[in-house]
DNA sequence: ATGTCC
């Protein structure tokens, strides 16, 4: 049944097979609840494949770390699998600065202040991009932004494939947008350019290249000691509103068709049903919002760099990709509907789904660590095809926010960020209490997660990104 | 993750 590889197992659940790509120890730490959830998901008709990455943990209805696949012809789409933070994902920008130029704590503080000035992180804050039409963003993503926000040095207008949303699809039946109530429109409009809270962040990092993949790093333009900007955010309240509206529509379709699983909260509809199409289209509007929002925040960070280090400071887009969505993809000769909930696509060199600039190397897969720990730039391997080229999306939570607050003291958290030392990771909040639930102890060890992904032969490491400063919402 | 309501 199971192979001898300690990094992979197939689990024979009552409703079907679950594939787990994780070291035995990580698998055993996941607990029984994740198997129950997998079994519920596997009860959805026509499902072809389901797997967990090593960072899998319990979510609402579906585990974070799930890849669930249907055939495109007889597929079911599930708002419960995608979740409410539709389009949540990562963006990485490369700067022309070296880490030595940020050596002084004072300078990192100045940079963080300059970022804070441009990107509100408070709960009900208004973003600074009110001159942008929300409808244009929802319909066209980056193409809906005024030209001044898309300078060629930053993301060439023609290289929209640097965001994998637009690489797949961004035009759809626009009449569905009218289904979302006006108050939600207004809220989403004022949220353009805001970070959100929870695990979302903007981080300044220093790159170190993995020797084994130096040839790929060079093709991507990465250098040792290079300063990078990583943005982790989603579709703010727009995605939640889409999830809520479609959730009830999809549930109605289910009762009409007499469908259901052991979990009444797990909703899904045939992709070609009206409810399925409405969801699919509105989901794309949320993907467009999310990618444009990350772009705008990275644009604001670019401005903050110029203010802090002079006008010659520049940042350019390496890549933007999501880990919460459902999308039609070609694998081999066939077309599939792939759901990724807290998993990252990592295509290998030569795969036709790669955006043009990365056709020969595979595209960068951006994997964040927890606060204070390194993030990774990965590239997919051809063996990753067995998992539809899905890898982990981060460290993965091991304890709840409340449990973390009980366990970790402010002092312990501060020392994990080396606060007060020369190499302190500068955080925008002076009081760290409100961020304790994001401390490294709330998460698995990202190095172990990456080891599992590498040993399961799904992807390899191209570079590691060490945090220098972080901006978080509360 | 989010906004809202007690």
Q: pLDDT by residue (tens digit) across A24-50?
A: 999 999 999 999 999 999 999 999 999
Rounded distance between C-alpha atoms, residue A165 and residue A173, angstroms: 16
- What is residue A348's predicted lDDT score, i.e. its pLDDT? 97
- What is residue A171's predicted lDDT score, i.e. its pLDDT? 58
Phi first, then psi: what are they for A377, rounded to 5°?
A: -110, 120
Give which of A95, A199, A99 is closest to A467, Cα–Cα. Answer: A99
Question: Which class for A112: exposed (0-12), middle (13-18), buried (19 or more C-beta within 10 A)?
Answer: buried
Q: Which residues pair with A277 in a beta bridge?
A: none
- What is residue A175's predicted lDDT score, i.e. its pLDDT? 86
The answer to whether the beta carbons of residues A172 and A327 sit under 8 Å apart is: no
- What is residue A95's predicted lDDT score, i.e. its pLDDT? 97
Q: What is the pTM of this model?
A: 0.96
Q: Which residues pair with A12 in a beta bridge?
A: A17
- What is residue A26's predicted lDDT score, i.e. its pLDDT? 96
- What is residue A143's predicted lDDT score, i.e. its pLDDT? 85
Of the listed A93, A339, A389, A393, which one is catalytic?
A393
Question: A318: part of which helix (H) or strand (E)?
Answer: strand A315-322
Tokens of A167: 């690489």
The integer distance in angstroms from the CA atom of A191 to the C1' atom of B3 is 13
The answer to whether the beta carbons of residues A362 and A383 sit under 8 Å apart is: no
Told to judge if A393 belongs to the known catalytic residues of this protein, a careful annotator would answer: yes
A236 touches strand B (CB under 7 A): yes
A197 touches strand B (CB under 7 A): yes
The answer to whether the beta carbons of residues A395 and A374 sit under 8 Å apart is: no
- What is residue A181's predicted lDDT score, i.e. its pLDDT? 94
Average per-residue pLDDT in chain A? Answer: 93
* Nearest-nucleotide field for A85 (CA, C1'): B1
Rounded distance between C-alpha atoms, residue A15 and residue A7, angstroms: 23
A199 touches strand B (CB under 7 A): yes
The integer distance in angstroms from the CA atom of A86 to the C1' atom of B2 is 12
**Rg, C-alpha atoms of chain A:** 21
Residues of chain A with pLDDT under 70: 1-3, 156-162, 164-172
- What is residue A150's predicted lDDT score, i.e. its pLDDT? 87
Q: Which residue has the tokens 């399925």?
A: A276
Rounded distance between C-alpha atoms, residue A273 and residue A324, angstroms: 22
Q: Which domains can be identified in chain A, with CATH numbers?
A: 8-398+443-472 (3.90.1860.10)
> Considering only residues 45-64 of protein chain A, which place a Cβ less than 7 A from any atom of strand B?
60
The integer distance in angstroms from the CA atom of A209 to the C1' atom of B1 is 33
Pairing between strand A426-427 and A459-472? Answer: parallel
């Amino acid at each position: 049944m199971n192979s001898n590889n300690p990094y992979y197992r197939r689990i024979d659940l009552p409703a079907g097979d679950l594939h787990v790509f994780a070291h035995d120890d990580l698998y055993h730490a996941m607990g029984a609840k994740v198997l129950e959830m997998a079994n519920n998901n596997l009860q959805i008709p026509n499902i072809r494949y389901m797997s967990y990455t090593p960072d899998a943990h319990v979510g609402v209805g579906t585990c974070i770390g799930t890849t669930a696949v249907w055939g495109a012809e007889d597929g079911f789409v599930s708002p419960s699998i995608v979740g409410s933070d539709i389009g949540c994902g990562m963006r990485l920008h490369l700067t022309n600065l070296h880490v030595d130029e940020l050596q002084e704590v004072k300078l990192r503080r100045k940079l963080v202040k300059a970022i804070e000035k441009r990107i509100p992180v408070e709960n009900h804050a208004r973003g600074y991009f009110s001159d942008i039409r929300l409808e244009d963003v929802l319909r066209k993503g980056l193409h809906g932004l005024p030209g001044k926000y898309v300078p060629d040095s930053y993301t060439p207008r023609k290289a929209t494939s640097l965001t994998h949303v637009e690489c797949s699809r961004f035009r759809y039946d626009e009449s569905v947008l009218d289904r979302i109530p006006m108050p939600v429109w207004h809220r989403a409009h004022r949220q353009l350019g805001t970070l959100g809270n929870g695990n979302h962040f903007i981080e300044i990092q220093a790159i170190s290249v993995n020797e084994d993949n130096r040839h790929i790093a060079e093709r991507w333009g990465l250098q040792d000691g290079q300063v990078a900007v990583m943005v982790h955010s989603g579709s703010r309240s727009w995605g939640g509103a889409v999830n809520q509206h479609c959730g009830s529509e999809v549930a109605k379709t289910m009762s009409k068709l007499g469908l259901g699983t052991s979990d009444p909260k797990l909703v899904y509809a045939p992709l070609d049903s009206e409810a399925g199409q409405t969801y699919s289209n509105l989901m794309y509007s949320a993907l467009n919002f999310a990618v444009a929002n990350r772009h705008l925040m990275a644009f604001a960070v670019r401005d903050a760099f110029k203010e802090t280090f002079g006008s010659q400071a520049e940042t350019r887009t390496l890549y933007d990709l999501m880990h919460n969505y459902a999308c039609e993809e070609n694998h081999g000769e066939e077309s599939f509907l792939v759901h990724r909930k807290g998993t990252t696509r990592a295509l290998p060199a030569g795969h036709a789904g790669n955006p043009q600039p990365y056709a020969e190397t595979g595209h960068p897969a951006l994997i964040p660590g927890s606060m204070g720990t390194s993030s990774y730039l990965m590239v997919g391997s051809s063996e990753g095809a067995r998992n539809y080229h899905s890898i982990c999306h981060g460290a993965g939570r091991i304890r709840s926010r409340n449990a973390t607050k009980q366990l970790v003291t402010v002092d312990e958290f501060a020392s994990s960020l080396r606060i007060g030392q020369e190499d302190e990771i500068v955080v925008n909040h002076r009081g760290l209490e409100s961020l304790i639930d994001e401390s490294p102890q709330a998460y698995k060890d990202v190095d172990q997660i990456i080891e599992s992904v590498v040993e399961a032969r799904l992807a390899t490491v191209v570079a590691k990104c060490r945090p220098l400063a972080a901006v978080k919402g509360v």
